[in-house]
Structure 1
Amino acid sequence: MNTVEILANAEGHESFPLVIPAIAFAIIAAGFFTFLGLVTYSYKDVAARHRQKWSDASDHAAHH
C-alpha cells in the first residue's frame, strides 16, 4: 500500500455514490461546450457587418 491509501484508510474515508453516472458528467460538459461554440460561431461576422455600416456613415459625412 502506498501512503495515500494508508492515510485514506486511517481517516475512515467514506466514498459516496455519484448522483448521476460519471459518463453523464462528460455528456453534459460536451453539450455545454458545444452550445458555447454555437453562440461564438453566431457572432463570427458581426464585426464585418458593423465595419461596413460605420465606414458608410463616415464616407457619407465626408461628402458634406
Structure 2
Amino acid sequence: MSNSIDRIEAQRDMRTLSVQMHAGSGESAKKYRESLMAELGLVSTGTGERDVAGMNALKQMSKR
C-alpha cells in the first residue's frame, strides 16, 4: 500500500514539475494543456437521452 501511495505522489510531483517547466513559454504551456486534455479524454457526450434498454439490461444483470 505504501508503494502505491509513493507512486501516486511521484506522479503528482512529476506533473507539478512539468507544469512549472511549461509555464515559462506560452506555446509550450498550450501544447502541454492539450496533452493533458487528451489524457483526460471525453467524460460525457451530454446527449441528455436516457438509455432505457441499457438500464433495464443492467438491472437484469444485477439480479443474477
- Choose 1 or 2 for highest CA Rg: 1
Q: Shorter-chain TM-score: what band? A: 0.3 to 0.5
Structure-2-length-normalised TM-score: 0.38
Q: Name the structure, 1 or 2, with higher relative contact order (CA <8 Å, separation 6+).
A: 2
TM-score when normalising by structure 1: 0.38
